[in-house]
Every structure is written in C-alpha cells, then in structure tokens.
Structure 1
Amino acid sequence: MALYLTNIAAMHNMRSLSSINAGLDTVYKRLSSGKRINSAKDDPAGLQIADRLTSQINGYKQGSRNLSDGLALAQTMEGALDETTDMLQKIRTLAVQAANGTYDDASRAAINSQVQQLCQEITRIGKKTTFGGTTILDGNQGGFYSNGGIQIQASGMANDTITIPGFEKGFTMSGLSSYTGNDGKGSVLKDGDSLRFSLSTAENAQEVLGYIDDYIKAVSSYKGTLGGVQNRFESAIRLNDTMRENLSDARSRIQDTDYAEEAANLAELMVRQQVCASIMKQINNSKSIILSLLGG
C-alpha cells in the first residue's frame, strides 16, 4: 500500500464535515426562528411567493380595520338620526295636539315653545355630530369625500371600496326641508341659517301635519340605507377574515419550519458530525506509520 504526504482522506473528511456544519447551521436557524426561509438563498421562489402572500394578508387585515371604522361611523350616524326621528315624532304629536280646537292661544304658544326647542336640537345634532373630529351629518359629509359620500377601502386591492352614500344638504332642519320641498310653507319659519316649524295657530298645526311625515320619511330612508351599508361592512369583514386565514395557511406551508422534519435532520446531522470527528482522529493516527518508517 502506497503512503503519500498529502492526506486525501483527511481532505475529503474535512469537506464532508464542513458541509455537515453548514447543514446544522441551517437547521439551527430554522428551529430558532420558526421559519424555513430565513434568507433568499434558502428558497428564492418560495420567498417571492411568501412576500406576495404577506402583502395580501396585510391588505385584508388593514381592510378589516377600515371596515370596522366604517361600521362604527355608520352606527354613529344612525344613532344621531334615531334621535332626530324621535324628535320629529314628538313634533308630530305636538302638532296633533296644537291642531285641536280646544286649545287657546296661550296653550298653543306653550306647545309651540316645545317645538322650537326640538327644532333647534335637530339642527344642533345635524351640525355637531362628529366622527374622529369631523362633522358627518351637516351636508357633504364634512369634507370626508368630494361627492358627499364616504369611501371605505375594503382590502389591499385597488378600487375595492364600499361607499356610505352622501347627502347634499345635511340633516339640519334646513337640510330636511330641501329634501321634502316644504321650506316655502307658512308654518316653516327661517331662523338665521336654520328653519323651524311654527304651531302658533291651529292652521299652522294642520299644515305641519300635512308634511311632517315627509321629514320623517327622509330620515328613515337614509337610515335604511345605512342599515344596508352596515350589513355590507359586516359581510366584507367576514370575507376578509376568511381570506386572511386561507392566505396565512398557504404562507405557513411555504415559509414556516416543519419541526418534525427539522428534528429528524438535526439528529441525522449530529450523528454524521460525530462520525466525521471519529474518522478524522483515525486518519491523523495513520500518519504515525510514516514516522515509524523513517525511524522516528
């Protein structure tokens, strides 16, 4: 058997040991990070797909937050309009009372005073209801969106929006009269930049009864629209959550560590590492043969 100074066996063993150590380094990273892909070199194609999935997941997640904000906004608007409806109903009841011929002027004036307070409160609600510091019932949505509507971005995809329909004049007394076309009646008085009902006479009370339902209908109609939009928001949130769950599962299969597989890889590599170390010791011992031949 020939003996050479260059130890090819040791070189081969060192190359194998280096490969094993690199493999162990990869396994340790995967086990500690929980990610199968820790750098682009681990899986270039998989990394690109995982990044795209992450973008979609983040888009749906933020979309759900946006929709929740939109839902809260619509509920705020509905709550304010519920109060407006209640006050219009009270005005209607007072109009029925004032139209009764058994009341004298003093009694009717007391009723009329109540109505003026209710009208002022309706206008105050229309002007002062806010969401995030922005008025939302005074017409054109207080500048939320140029056409009066409020667009809610539903996901990370372009043009995937749900709009809360706008209204031009708002839900003050003046705004309501513009929707019903009753601002020219003798029982509708101008008070600064606002309108108010007048029940000072039985005739005025009869006139108010003739169109108060139009005001109630205008508010109820928009509340119905808000209800439909809220249903859309809730449905879109459920869809976003489903999409996010499915995309997260797909990303996990590509990007996350399979601990069962990596545990098996770790055990295999550690055995091979120990074997290489043992072999290297035997290879180094074989060099003593050369020294003995030289009389060393």
Structure 2
Amino acid sequence: MSVINTNVNSIVAQNAATVSGRSMAKAMEQLSTGKRINTAADDAAGLAISSRATSQIRGLDQAVRNANDGISMLQTAEGAMVEVTNMLQRMRELSVQSANDTNTADDRAYLDLEFQQLKAETDRIISNTQWNGVNVLDKTFTNNTTAGKFVFQVGANANQTISHTIDVFGLGTNDGSGASISATATEVTAATASTIEVSTLTVAGTYAAGDKITVNLNQNVFQYTVTDADAAGGSNTVATNLAAALDLRFEDGFEASVSGAGVVKITLDASAGTTTGNSFTLTAGSTDGEWDDIESLSILTQATSNTAVSTLDVAVASVNKARAEIGAVINRLTYAADNLTNVSQNAEASRSRILDTDYAKTTTELARTQIIQQAATAMLAQANQQPQSVLSLLR
C-alpha cells in the first residue's frame, strides 16, 4: 500500500531506534558509574539489599576502628600498670631491707624517704593516667552506674559490645565497707555418738571482689575469695556461695548449708565413717583483698616494715590480676577486630555482586545497542524515502 500521511515503516524504525537508544544509554550509564543499579527502577529489590549491605559494611568498618581504639586504651592502662608494678616491687624490696635489724633508725629513715616518694608516684600514676581525656585507672569513669566499666561497641548493630571493668584502686582505698565475719560454734554433747554438733558462721558487712574469707575447720584451713557476683548480691549471696564452697571442700563428714540471712550452718555428719566423735572446732575471719591502707604505710620500724611487705603483696597481686584481665580483653578485642574485618570483606563481595557493573557483559550490550541504533537510523532514512515513490504515480 502506497500512502503518504502515515508512514508505518518510519514509525517502526523510530520505535526501534528509541528502544535501542534507551538500552544504549543505560549501558553507558552503568559503564560510566561502575554501578549496575543507579536508580530504583534498575532493580528495586537489589537496591534495598545493597543499601542494607552498605549499612552493615560501614557499621562493621567503624566497629573495627572501635575495637582498635579499645585496644589502644587498654594498652595505655596496662602500660601504666607496668610502672605501678615496678614501683610496688621496689617498695616491697625496701620493706624487706628495712625489716632487717642490721639497719639503724637513721638507715630506715633513709629507706623510708624513697618508699614514700614511690608511694606518692604510684598514687599519681593511678590518678592521672588518661586516654582521650578519660581517667582509666582510678574508677572515676562511670558507665551504666558501674565505676570503671568500659563498654566497647564492636558490632554493626546496637548492643553488640564487649565490656571490661578496670579494678585498680587508689592508695588508701578500702573497697570493703566494714566487711566482717564472725564464727559462733554451738556444740551439742550427748551420751550417744549419734548426736552431732551444729555450728554457724555469720557473714556480715559489705564485701567487694577480692575480699578473703578464711575458715579453719578442725585445723583444715579453707580460704574463699569474694567474686564480683558475690559483692553485687550482698552478704546473703556471699554466704550462699561460701556454703557451697565449704560443702565441696569439706565433703568428708561435714555438710554446709545456708540457714538464714548471712548465716552458714555447718553440720557434723556422724554417720560418715571417716569422722569420729560428735564435735569439732571452727574459727573464721575476713580480710580486705584489695589496696588496704597503703597510704598509711611506712618502713621506719621492723614491725611497720613487715606490715608493708604483707600489704604490698596484696597490692602486687591485685595489679597482676588487673593486668592479666586487661591482656585477656586485648586478645579478645584483637580477634573481634579480625572477625569484623573478615565479615566486612565478605559483605562487600556480596554487595558487589548485586550492585557493581559487570564490564564484560555491559560492554557487549553497549556494542549490540550501538549497532542496532545505527541500523535503526539507516532504516529510518530508508523509510522516509519510500513516500517519494508515490510521486511517480502523479506524473
């Protein structure tokens, strides 16, 4: 059919050129940006997935930096503790030297001069060691009402944390507030061996982690160290856990249980073949397990020097424990950072498969659309020439 007003072939060629032009423009955009998805119209679901992956990746990368910052802070604290340990060891050395009666009063005074200076410097380091403006050793930093507790955000999402409390106390700080323990033995005597003795330990006062409770049962000494959980639960929790520990320790012939608020009941089991008689001896006491009365120490006499040795032993053990805990957390944070890096790497690879342009495929698509675009243009020119043939009919 020969027509002029409606050139169907031209319209077909125009549409083909439009479609191929759109495909070519999309391929050029992908090649220019390096992204397969540039708008939501390109892949709506893929855009949402890649956006969530981006949030995770950026969160993971920041968490790695957080973990490394935490390592740096703990290394700063541990480095200060190294010097504290060195000075405490020197103070103990001076105490041992001063305890020797070959020293005169003047000699001990000279030794005490260095002792007091080291004590002051130890206190200064504990009070002034900072990281990013925050004191890290004196427990003045408070997070969630817990003194000395640092929480490190080591995940891409909320509450993915590692926490650590640095339990190093300043000189003269007695963490146990009136902690005490008393032992009251109630002996029951009777003519028969089946009658047994029941004795009690009353745990009273406020305890803190590191406090020591010593129980002497029939010349067998058992020492219980109060834990963080015990201290948080109060004297009743201390009594409960002490009873469990005693029951395990003195399992031959004795039973320990809780029989009231802060009261540990110890019963002689006469039926046990290893036990004879119906009574036993029981004594108990408690000591503060942390930095007790260091501020008041001196080595001016043999007696005070011996006291200093015992007190400094507790202090050195406390710092050693704190350093060991910090070292363990540093290792944990290192592994956490390595894991976060690995997860971030895999997440980036996953996002790349969704979001990034496949250049081999897209350049092939560009070449295809360019050829089709050129062909469509040529055909459009031919279609526009077809109406010219109608003129021959009008001659």
> CA 1:72–1:129 in structure 2 vs 1: closer, same or farther (change >3 Å)?
same
Which residue matches 1:163? Answer: 163
> CA 1:270–1:39 in structure 2 vs 1: closer, same or farther (change >3 Å)?
same
Which residue matches 2:97? Answer: 97
The alpha carbon displacement at 1:158 in A equals: 2.2
Which residue matches 1:174? Answer: 172
> CA 1:183–1:70 in structure 2 vs 1: closer, same or farther (change >3 Å)?
closer
- Aligned residue among 248, 262, 270 for 2:370: 270
Equivalent pair of 1:147/1:166 in contact (CA under 8 Å): no
> CA 1:286–1:2 in structure 2 vs 1: closer, same or farther (change >3 Å)?
closer
Q: Which runs of 4+ in 1 moved over 3 A?
A: 1-4, 175-180, 182-185
The alpha carbon displacement at 1:61 in A equals: 0.7
Alignment of 1:46-65 (within 5 A): 46-65=46-65
Q: 1:54 and 1:232 mapped to 2: Cα distance? A: 26
Equivalent pair of 1:98/1:202 in contact (CA under 8 Å): yes
Residues 159-214 of structure 1 deviation map (CA, whole Å, 9 limit, x = unaligned): 210001243xx4321237866738998xx57xxxxx14200111111121223211
Q: 2:289 and 2:42 mapped to 1: Cα distance? A: 73
The alpha carbon displacement at 1:74 in A equals: 0.7
Q: 2:136 and 2:33 mapped to 1: Cα distance? A: 47
> CA 1:147–1:166 in structure 2 vs 1: closer, same or farther (change >3 Å)?
farther
Equivalent pair of 1:10/1:283 in contact (CA under 8 Å): yes
Equivalent pair of 2:20/2:372 in contact (CA under 8 Å): yes
> CA 1:150–1:177 in structure 2 vs 1: closer, same or farther (change >3 Å)?
closer
Which residue matches 1:204? Answer: 304
Alignment of 1:110-149 (within 5 A): 110-140=110-140, 142-148=141-147, 149=149
Structure 1 unaligned spans of 5+: 190-194
Residues 43-92 of structure 1 deviation map (CA, whole Å, 9 limit, x = unaligned): 00100110111111111111111111111111011001111111000001
Which piece of structure 1 moves more, 145-154 or 1-10? 1-10
Structure 2 unaligned spans of 5+: 177-209, 212-287
Root mean square deviation, CA, Å: 1.9
Q: 2:291 and 2:62 mapped to 1: Cα distance? A: 48
Which residue matches 2:20? Answer: 20
SS of alignment partner, residue 38 of structure 1: coil
SS of alignment partner, residue 164 of structure 1: strand
> CA 1:106–1:182 in structure 2 vs 1: closer, same or farther (change >3 Å)?
farther
Q: 1:225 and 1:182 mapped to 2: Cα distance? A: 17
- Aligned residue among 333, 345, 352 for 1:245: 345
Equivalent pair of 2:60/2:340 in contact (CA under 8 Å): yes
Which piece of structure 1 moves more, 131-140 or 14-23? 131-140
> CA 1:109–1:81 in structure 2 vs 1: closer, same or farther (change >3 Å)?
same
Which piece of structure 1 moves more, 256-265 or 96-105? 96-105
Which residue matches 2:320? Answer: 220
SS of alignment partner, residue 173 of structure 2: helix
Q: 1:99 and 1:182 mapped to 2: Cα distance? A: 23
SS of alignment partner, residue 175 of structure 1: coil
Amino acid at match of 1:154: V
Amino acid at match of 2:157: M
The alpha carbon displacement at 1:132 in A equals: 0.6
Instruction: Tell me, yes or no, if structure 1 residue 279 matches structure 2 residue 379.
Output: yes
Equivalent pair of 2:57/2:348 in contact (CA under 8 Å): yes
Equivalent pair of 2:297/2:308 in contact (CA under 8 Å): yes
Which residue matches 2:39? Answer: 39
Alignment of 1:72-83 (within 5 A): 72-83=72-83
Which residue matches 1:257? Answer: 357
The alpha carbon displacement at 1:277 in A equals: 1.0
The alpha carbon displacement at 1:146 in A equals: 2.5
Q: 2:304 and 2:67 mapped to 1: Cα distance? A: 45
TM-score of the aligned structures, taking structure 1 as reference length: 0.91
Q: 2:110 and 2:353 mapped to 1: Cα distance? A: 74
